[in-house]
Structure formats: structure tokens, C-alpha cells
């Protein structure tokens, strides 16, 4: 697969090579076991070129991704304020507040960045630029989650970090004093308009958080809506126009094997295949509104469309919207935000958040 195709899938600009960002595959503390985890010993992760390389000594070298940028108390273009906060020893986030905010309550979006669970960051240039633009347009508060990355921290680490962040956000509705509460959320957050969303692997996280949140969150908070932009779903059986030959050698297949080597069922684990027979079912989505965005030139497009079809057939009670863009690839709205198609998609996202 050429660099252009990798760029299209990952939603990253390959002109931003990382300067030897290297970490080590040390032994990780055992994660809580669940039916989604296999006890079978798996071989060590292999390279995922040209995205990352796993060296024989266990070091992980990330070859692609956009550079980190600091938060800004007052973005010179949009006036949006941003700051970083620590949620737990493993989890942090970047918070965003729109300009001219006085005493009004604003919708809250918990956002999960893309990057195949193994690259990119809530603090990266592409993510920061995208979220800043969305905050300025929609006039919302955003909590952009910095979750742990595979392969150093294989899944379900990112799911656990994302759930911890979602519960932390919800805890702001509780009346007891908590030094970890953030004043932006306490003063301006409208928790009756709580949204979650993400792009690519971040959309996968958002889906799984919505399933887990079906019984509610801290303080009885409920998720109003979920945004899944170009969601990263996969499975062993091709869907629609997906190629039959070499299906198990696709980037999606190999990525999942790298980031969740102990997933029970492999690519038919319900965390990556929401249509799996042993899954919790889509009728249990813990939200009342759902927006799914796909692009015709995205290799994940078929899964996004099928997801909408399966949600409609599941008996889920809620409002579902499918937004499809012609002639664009994976995460184009992040790569080329000034294009007309990107601006139209951003308006769709903002309208959904403000309904």
C-alpha cells in the first residue's frame, strides 16, 4: 500500500514524520479480564510499516504522526481557549472553551482522536486544529482524551482510559466537593447535553463507550448523542464491496492484531465487529441520537453504512442520521479542513451538537 493510501486510511499527514519517537514494550500490569480477552499467549507485535516499527529489543518507533502543539489561553484565529488537565496517573485531556462565554451552559463533547489506537494524540497539531475549529463553530465545550497507545499499552487500555474520562466528566454533576473537578465544566457544562464522538479508531471508542453507558453514568447522566466519523470497524467476512481476496491481509486486519493481540475472536471481537453474533447488540446503544459520517473513497465506508442498517434493524429507539460525502477519503475533513466538503461536514457536526 502506498503512502497516499496510508494517509487516506489513518487520517494523518505523512509529511509530518516523527523524529524517532521511541518507547519500550515493557511488561504491562495485568488488565481486568473480561469475556473479550483471550488467555491464549500471542506472538509479539510485528511492524506496521510505514506507521511504526517494533524493534527486536522491544522498542517502538513511531514513523508517522503530526507534532505536538501546546494549548492556548486565547487562540489568535478563533479566540478558543484550551488547557491540559490530568485525570488519573494514566489519563490526561485537553479541554476547550469557546470565546465570549459568560454564564450560559454549553453542550459538552467528549472527543476521542483517531490513529489506529497506536499513533497520534489529543495534543497533536491535527487534532488540536480540528477540535479548535469545531469548538469555534458549534460553541461547545470539548474534552479531548489523551488515552494510552498500543502496542506498549494494548487494548483494552484505551477503552479503559476513555471510560475513566467519561466518568470523570459525569462526576461534575455530583454535589460533593472534589479537587479534581474542572471549573470550565462546573461553571459552563450542560450535562443534559452530553455528547461523545471521534474519528476512525476514536469513533470505534465512542461506539464502545455508548454500549457500556447504556445503564447511565455517574450522577445519573445520560449521553444525548454520539458522533461516529469514518468509524474503524472490521470483521472476518467482507462487507459490500470490500475485497474478498486478501481480506485478512488488509491494514484494518493487521492493525487490530497489533493493538489487541489477545482479543477473543480476533477481528470478530465485538469491540471491532459490532455485528458479531456474541456481541451485546446495537439495541443497547446508550444514547438517543446518533450521527454516522462516511466517505465514498474510504475503505471503511461499507462498515459505516452497514452499521446504520444494523442499528435500524436492532430495535434501538432513537434518531439516526447518515452523512455521506462523495469523492473523499478517510478523515479528509481533518487533513484538508479548508475544502468545501470539509466545511460542509463541520457544519453537519455543529448542527447535530446544537439540536
Any idea which residues carry the catalytic annotation?
200, 298
- What single-letter DSSP state applies at residue 32? P
The helix (H) or strand (E) run that includes residue 127 is helix 125-138
Q: Any bridge partners for residue 174, and if so which?
A: none
- State how far the Cα of 199 lies from the Cα of 182, in Å rounded to an integer: 25
- State how far the Cα of 123 lies from the Cα of 139, in Å rounded to an integer: 20
- State how far the Cα of 269 lies from the Cα of 151, in Å rounded to an integer: 18
ω into residue 151 within 30 of 0, thus cis? Answer: yes
- State how far the Cα of 294 lies from the Cα of 7, in Å rounded to an integer: 16
Q: Any bridge partners for residue 294, and if so which?
A: 324
3-state helix, strand, coil in the chain (%, to 5): 30, 25, 45
- State how far the Cα of 292 lies from the Cα of 109, in Å rounded to an integer: 16
- What single-letter DSSP state applies at residue 275? T
Q: Which of 299, 151, 290 minimizes the C-alpha distance to 228?
A: 290
Q: Any bridge partners for residue 142, and if so which?
A: 96, 109
Amino acid at each position: 500500500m502506498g503512502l497516499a493510501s496510508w494517509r487516506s486510511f489513518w487520517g494523518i499527514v505523512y509529511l509530518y514524520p516523527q523524529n524517532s519517537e521511541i518507547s519500550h514494550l515493557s511488561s504491562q500490569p495485568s488488565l481486568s479480564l473480561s469475556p473479550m480477552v483471550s488467555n491464549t499467549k500471542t506472538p509479539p507485535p510485528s511492524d506496521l510499516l510505514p506507521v511504526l516499527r517494533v524493534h527486536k529489543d522491544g522498542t517502538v518507533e513511531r514513523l508517522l504522526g503530526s507534532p505536538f502543539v501546546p494549548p492556548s489561553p486565547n487562540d489568535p484565529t478563533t479566540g478558543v481557549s484550551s488547557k491540559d488537565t490530568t485525570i488519573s496517573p494514566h489519563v490526561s485531556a485537553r479541554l476547550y472553551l469557546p470565546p465570549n462565554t459568560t454564564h450560559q451552559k454549553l453542550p459538552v463533547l467528549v472527543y476521542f482522536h483517531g490513529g489506529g489506537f497506536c499513533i497520534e494524540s489529543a495534543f497533536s497539531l491535527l487534532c488540536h486544529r480540528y477540535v479548535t475549529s469545531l469548538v469555534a463553530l458549534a460553541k461547545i465545550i470539548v474534552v479531548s482524551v489523551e488515552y494510552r497507545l498500543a502496542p506498549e499499552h494494548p487494548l483494552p487500555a484505551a477503552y479503559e482510559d476513555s471510560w475513566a474520562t467519561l466518568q470523570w466528566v459525569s462526576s461534575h454533576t455530583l454535589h460533593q466537593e472534589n479537587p479534581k473537578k474542572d471549573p470550565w465544566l462546573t461553571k459552563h457544562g450542560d450535562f443534559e447535553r452530553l455528547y461523545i464522538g471521534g474519528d476512525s479508531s476514536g469513533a470505534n471508542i465512542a461506539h464502545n463507550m455508548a454500549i457500556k453507558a447504556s445503564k447511565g453514568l455517574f450522577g445519573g447522566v445520560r449521553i444525548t448523542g454520539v458522533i461516529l466519523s469514518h468509524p474503524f470497524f472490521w470483521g472476518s467476512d467482507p462487507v459490500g464491496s470490500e475485497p474478498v481476496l486478501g481480506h485478512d491481509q488488509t491494514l484494518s486486519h493487521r492493525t487490530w492484531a497489533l493493538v489487541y493481540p489477545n482479543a477473543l475472536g480476533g477481528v470478530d471481537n465485538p469491540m471491532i465487529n459490532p455485528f458479531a453474533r456474541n456481541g451485546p447488540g446495537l439495541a443497547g446503544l446508550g444514547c438517543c441520537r446518533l450521527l454516522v459520517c462516511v466517505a465514498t473513497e474510504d475503505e471503511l465506508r461499507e462498515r459505516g453504512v452497514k452499521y446504520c442498517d444494523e442499528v435500524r434493524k436492532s430495535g434501538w429507539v432513537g434518531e439516526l442520521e447518515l452523512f455521506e460525502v462523495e469523492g473523499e477519503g478517510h478523515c479528509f475533513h481533518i487533513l484538508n479542513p479548508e475544502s468545501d466538503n470539509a466545511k460542509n461536514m463541520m457544519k453537519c457536526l455543529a448542527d447535530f451538537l446544537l439540536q
